[in-house]
Amino acid sequence: MLRARIIAESLRPGAVLEVPDMRVVRVWREDVAASTGPGQPPIWTLFDIEAPDDRAGELADALAAALLAEGGWYADFEVGADHVVVFAGRSFRYRQGDGPARAHVVAYGRSVGVPEHQLDWKG
């Protein structure tokens, strides 16, 4: 079972995130003003979701289509021994612990405006 956290404010207006067998397990709002990047709001609405591992590709595709291109947003999750990091229009999947692959994704994140302190995902 894959688990992901989605920030509602990272989604484009009008975007629909629909993946078969995906379910929301927790929703809350959090004041994150101390750790936001340029253009990111100070309060976020967070959704913890779960889906079967075999839905990872569909979730990555849905997020890539739904995430805002501006603001340095991304989403990430683990599936099996892999880590998936999704940006607007693009996703990456690499084996956890693969330092060079992770560094490549971090560099891509920087190139699309992800604040340095938010490039801290595990894997």
In this structure, is residue 121 part of a structural domain? no
Of 35, 36, 91, nearest in space to 63 by CA: 91
In this structure, is residue 79 part of a structural domain? yes
pLDDT at residue 41 is higher than 80: yes
SS3 75: strand
Q: Whole-prediction pTM value? A: 0.94
In this structure, is residue 120 part of a structural domain? no
SS3 35: helix
77-114 pLDDT per residue, tens: 999 999 999 999 999 999 999 999 999 999 999 999 99
SS3 80: coil
Domain range for 10: 2-115
User: Binning pLDDT at 50, 70 and 90, where does residue 37 land?
Assistant: confident
**Domain count along the chain:** 1
Mean pLDDT in the chain? 95
